[in-house]
Structure 1
Amino acid sequence: MKPILRDKYLYLMLAPVVVYFLLFKYAPLFGELIAFKNYRLADGIWGSAWVGLEHFRKLFSSTDFYIVLRNTLLLNLYNLVFAFPVPVVLAILLNEVRLSGYKRMLQNLLYIPHFISWVVLGTIVIAMLSPSTGIVNTMLKFFGLESIYFMASNVWWPVSFVVSGIWKEAGFGTILYMAAMTAIDPMLYEAAKIDGAGKLRQMWHVTLPGIRSTAAILMILQVGRIMDIGFEQVYAMKNPAVTKVAEVISTYVYTRGIENLQYSYTTALGLFQSCVALILVVSVNWLIKSMGERGLW
Structure 2
Amino acid sequence: MRTVAKPASPSSPGPSAGAWARTSKKLWRSRMMYVFVLPGTIYFLLYKYVPLLGSVIAFQEYSPFQGFLHSDWVGFAHFRRIFDNPEVVQVLINTITLSFLQIAFAFPVPIALALMLNEVRQEWFKRFVQSLVYLPHFLSWVVVIGLVTLFLRSDGVVNSFLVNVLGMEPVLFLQQPYLFKPLIVLEIIWKEAGWGTIVFLAALAGVNPELYEAAIVDGASRWRRIWHITLPGIRGTIVILLILRLGTVLDNGFEQIFLMLNPYVQEVGNVLDTYVYYKGILQSDFSFATAVGLFKSVVGLVLVVAANRLAKRFGEEGIY
TM-score range, shorter chain: over 0.9
In angstroms, what is the RMSD of aligned CA positions? Answer: 1.6
- Determine if the alignment matches structure 1 residue 53 to structure 2 residue 76: yes
- What is aligned with 2:181? 158
Distance 2:189 2:98 in 1: 13
Distance 2:91 2:225 in 1: 44
How many Å apart are 1:108 and its aligned residue?
1.0
- Determine if the alignment matches structure 1 residue 86 to structure 2 residue 109: yes
- Determine if the alignment matches structure 1 residue 126 to structure 2 residue 115: no
Distance 1:218 1:42 in 2: 44
Aligned residues between the structures: 297
How many Å apart are 1:64 and its aligned residue?
1.1
- Determine if the alignment matches structure 1 residue 176 to structure 2 residue 168: no
- What is aligned with 2:210? 187
How many Å apart are 1:290 and its aligned residue?
0.9
- Determine if the alignment matches structure 1 residue 100 to structure 2 residue 123: yes
- What is aligned with 1:32? 55
What letter is aligned with 2:295? F
How many Å apart are 1:138 and its aligned residue?
1.9
How many Å apart are 1:24 and its aligned residue?
1.4
Contact 2:91 2:270 in 1 (8 A): yes
Distance 1:226 1:4 in 2: 40
* 1:85–1:136 Cα change, 3 Å: farther
Distance 2:188 2:92 in 1: 20
- What is aligned with 2:7? none
Which residue of 93, 99, 102 maps to 1:76?
Answer: 99
Q: Any residues of structure 2 matched to 1:218-237 within 5 Å, and which?
A: 218-237=241-260
Q: Percent identity?
A: 44
* 5+ residue gaps, structure 1: none
How many Å apart are 1:226 and its aligned residue?
0.2
- What is aligned with 1:283? 306
Which residue of 255, 267, 289 maps to 2:290?
Answer: 267
* 1:74–1:109 Cα change, 3 Å: same
Look at both structures and tell me which one has the larger radius of gyration over its CA atoms. Answer: 2
1:241 partner SS: coil
* 1:199–1:140 Cα change, 3 Å: farther
How many Å apart are 1:49 and its aligned residue?
1.4
> Comparing 1-10 with 154-163, which one deviates more in the overlay?
1-10
2:75 partner SS: coil
Contact 2:249 2:300 in 1 (8 A): yes
Contact 2:58 2:291 in 1 (8 A): yes
- Determine if the alignment matches structure 1 residue 14 to structure 2 residue 33: no
How many Å apart are 1:139 and its aligned residue?
5.0
Contact 1:129 1:137 in 2 (8 A): no
Distance 2:85 2:28 in 1: 56
How many Å apart are 1:202 and its aligned residue?
1.3
Which residue of 240, 243, 251 maps to 2:266?
Answer: 243
Contact 1:141 1:147 in 2 (8 A): no
CA deviation digits over 1:111-161, x for unaligned, max 9?
Answer: 111110101110111221123323366258745554322211111111111
1:240 partner SS: coil
What letter is aligned with 1:95? N
2:156 partner SS: coil
| TM-score for both structures, normalised by structure 2 | 0.89
| TM-score for both structures, normalised by structure 1 | 0.95
